[in-house]
Structure 1
Amino acid sequence: MMQVDLHGGFGEKGRTSVALRSTGSHILLDVGIKVGASGREYYPAIERDIETIDALLLSHAHEDHVGALSWLLAKGYRGPIFMTEETRDEAPATLAHYADAAQLEQFPFPSGQVELFSPGDTLTIGDFTIRTGRSGHVVGGVWFAVENGQANVVYSADILPDSRVFVMDPLPPCDLLILDASYGADPVSGGARADAIATWVAEHPKGCLLPTPLFGRSLELLAVMPKRFAIHASMRQALAVQIAAAGALYPKAVERLKQQLAAAIDWNDGDPLPDCPLLADDGMGTAGPSATLIPLADASNYPVLLTGHLPASSPGDLLHRAGRADWIRMPTHPTLSGNMEIWRKCGEPQVLGHSCTPPMLDELKSHIPSLRADARTGQSLTLLEGKIV
């Protein structure tokens, strides 16, 4: 038997968090925040039993998977925190942008609790054996396959099976697949969207702004930039570190990205907006240089292209809804064909979709019939003899 507690990200986008319980073990997978929410809904719906959690495992350092770490520590968690080296290095910057300032001051990034592993390692925590693999989503990002001798659950976290940049390891067969459903049943491939972004950029030769997360999508966009483009100067070191993690990237992509970064023009705050594409983090305008650049670009009639998730009322969302910014998705999660292939290769198991709204889950269910589209944050499910009961 295995209990699955849905603490965040089910029937919603953000605050992704899942707990798995066995007879004598209790682990937590990710602890994110929900951008655009406030109060209690900003954090995972973990109301009790924090003291019984044996370990926290983090898939990667994006805010919707790690942003509530200081909150969890403030609630009393003192156990080990398993993550890759890259996640350890990136998480403090994410917390600086998205954690409550008072909580972060009292409970900063807990280096003493961190236990490192590498993608591909197998961990043993209590009753659980946990396999890991590269996610294809970001350098150092992983999925988790958890089994206790009675049930086998795969938590994909954020994955991308058809990236031109990042390598994703195949997910193993399982009884329950907790799948990255961020895009629902979107049928357009990542390659087609990347080509569309390159075309849009070419159509704006006098300059344009592309807000992007510092980690992950930034490399996908870097790969499709023309010969002459700019980056916010503060991004350069982080981009270089990601490109140096060659084991997470395709060899051809590494060479392309090295050449692109070497050619990129550094843009600094206070400089005139450049007459070429400009990449700046983050992707929503809620933090980082883009929080200043998006309103500056708007006031200057400087074209803006948004390429990812836009939480309601975020600066990027408001600009797009006002018709003053374009949007073309640069996929960093699976589209329909990718998720269907993953489901088949996992043995067509029962499925829960995370990071997805209810209407999009209903649409995805028409393609993946074993998807439980009614699963919601706050629910607990039980796997018994490989079936949800």
Structure 2
Amino acid sequence: MTLDVELAGGFGEKGRTSVVVGREGQRVMLDAGIKVGATGRDYYPRPLTPVDRLDAVLISHAHEDHVGALNWLLSEGFRGRILMTAETRDEAPATLAAYGEQALVEAYPFPADRIELFRPGDVLDVAGFRIATGRSGHVVGGVWFALEDDGTRVVYCADVVPDSAVFVMDRMPECDLLLLDASYGADPVSGHERAQRIAAWIAERAGGCLLPTPLSGRSLELVAAMPGRFAIHASMREHLLAQIEAVQALKPGMPELLRARINAALDWKDGEALPDCPLLADDGMGRAGPSSRLIPLADAQGFPILLSGHLPAGTPGFELHAKGRADWIRMPTHPTLAGNVEIWEHAGRPAVLGHSCGPDEIARLGEHIPALQSGRRTGDRLVVGQEVL
């Protein structure tokens, strides 16, 4: 049996992550993200299958580059099943409100009544395919997908973190094609070392500093790395504590540690003086949420700013860093080099494609993973099975 794979977004680029897998008569989409910094048609995925012929869309987690195109899918006539975890369902409306086109958000609101829930670890029957899921290590409720049909299996990592200090990642099965989270290319620096660098940077700024961060995922990684007292934007508290209640997603001891640190954190509200300690505020780029107001405020007052994730061109974080007015230390929330090599080896050293990074980075990763096809791009279609790729 062979499977068709359409690279609908995120290949040779960062953002609008989306893959369509199917066979004659059945097609499922795995993730439907947007591309921050792009405009017009390039903001959305580019599936080769017409949207109204997709049987289902499965969402790995609620970050904008994986769920932000859901309103667009509905506007294009998508009528199929929509599957995600409860945590993703709870977070997705806020993501869509922040990153979706306002006209589409209003005309095609989040379809709460159509959402089908599953739990990480469940095996799903969707359009005749057997789809296994597992915890991603990236965010609470985040998953990877392993789609199988008559002995042919495609594994789509979505966003995973093999060496997270906070979250659990389940091992993925062997497969014929691995769609790897290549967000960091061949970056060899471990998450533990990066966390130490961030803690040292914070400790050197006794008068306080601003750390923009996504509301889920990296926020808890930063809380775990904090060297002392810190503040959070008051609007984050309830959400952070809710994430910690999903104890099955966290490593042993982490729920207690994170709860104690968040309970001790100061609440900061808009209009108050900037604190004399580290301040966490979402989002990580300054494009939405409290950080969209805090980044220009901190910059105007000479309050140190540390960015720790992806910075799409044109975002406030990107602009400040380019001008030398904000520092950047990556807090890994995707696999570094050793993690991706290990994922590939555990998957049986199959054929590999990498998503969520540009051509130069994917080429460097290919120097370490011989089976990586670094020339694949969004818009390509391939066949997996008896005639692999």
Q: TM-score, normalised by structure 2?
A: 0.99
Q: State the Cα distance separating 1:225 from its structure 2 match.
A: 1.4
Q: Distance in 2 between matches of 1:374 and 1:110?
A: 37
- The aligned counterpart of 2:313 is 312
Give 3-state SS (helix, strand or coil) of 1:5's partner.
Answer: strand
**3-state SS, counterpart of residue 202 of structure 2:** helix
Native 8 Å contact 2:56 2:127 kept in 1: no
- Of residues 352-361 and 49-58 in structure 1, the stretch that sits farther from structure 2 once superposed is 49-58
The alpha-carbon distance between structure 1 residues 358 and 222, as it changes in their structure 2 partners (threshold 3 A), is same
Structure 1 spans left out of the alignment, 5+ residues: none
Cα distance in 1, alignment partners of residues 51 and 43 from structure 2: 18
Per the TM alignment, residue 361 of structure 1 is displaced from its structure 2 partner at its CA by 0.6
The correspondence of residues 60-75 of structure 1 with structure 2, limited to 5 A, is 60-75=61-76
Deviation by residue 1:115-162 (Cα, 9 ceiling, x = unmatched): 000000000112310000000000000000001114210000000000
Q: Could you tell me whether the CA contact under 8 Å between 2:176 and 2:385 is conserved in 1?
A: no
CA distance in 1, matches of 2:48, 2:382: 16
Q: Residue 78 of structure 1 aligns with which residue? A: 79
2:7 aligns with 6
1:50 positional shift: 1.4
Between the aligned residues of both structures, percent identity stands at 62
Letter in 2 for 1:292: R
Segments of 5+ residues of structure 2 without an aligned counterpart are none
1:19 and 1:123 mapped to 2: Cα distance?
A: 16
Give, in whole Å, the separation in 1 of the partners of 2:289 and 2:385. Answer: 46
Structure 2 equivalent of residue 27 of structure 1: 28
Task: Give the partner amino acid of 2:91.
Answer: E
Q: How far apart in 2 are the matches of 1:93 and 1:302? A: 28
> CA offsets, 1:96-122, max 9 Å, x none?
100000100011100121000000000
8 A Cα contact 1:151 1:386, kept in partner: no
SS in 1 for 2:239: helix
1:387 aligned counterpart, secondary structure: coil
In structure 1, what is the equivalent of residue 109 of structure 2?
108
Distance in 1 (CA, whole Å) between partners of 2:126 and 2:19 is 16
* SS in structure 2 of the partner of residue 370 of structure 1: coil
CA distance in 2, matches of 1:137, 1:324: 29
Paired residue type of 1:139: V
Note if contact 1:78-1:113 (Cα within 8 Å) is conserved in structure 2. no
Please tell me the residue identity of whatever aligns with 1:244: E
CA deviations on 1:220-265 (whole Å, 9 max, x unpaired) are 0011113311000000011010011101001211111011101000
- Distance in 1 (alpha carbons) for counterparts of 2:266 and 2:3: 52
Give matches, 1:182-331, under 5 Å: 182-331=183-332
Q: Distance in 2 between matches of 1:347 and 1:129?
A: 20
* Regions of 4+ moved over 4 Å: none
Q: Give 1:139-218 correspondences, 5 Å limit.
A: 139-218=140-219
Deviation (angstroms), 1:49: 1.8
SS in 2 for 1:177: strand
Report how many residues are paired. 388
Match of 1:385 in 2: 386
Letter in 2 for 1:40: R
Structure-1 separation of matches of 2:30 and 2:49 = 16
Please give the alpha-carbon distance, in whole angstroms, between the structure 1 residues aligned to 2:363 and 2:225: 33
Match of 1:129 in 2: 130
Q: Tell me by how many angstroms 1:23 deviates.
A: 2.7
TM-aligned CA deviation for residue 305 of structure 1 = 0.2
Contact persistence 1:150–1:385 (CA under 8 A): no
Secondary structure of 2:253's aligned partner:
helix
Q: Which residue type is aligned with residue 148 of structure 1? A: D
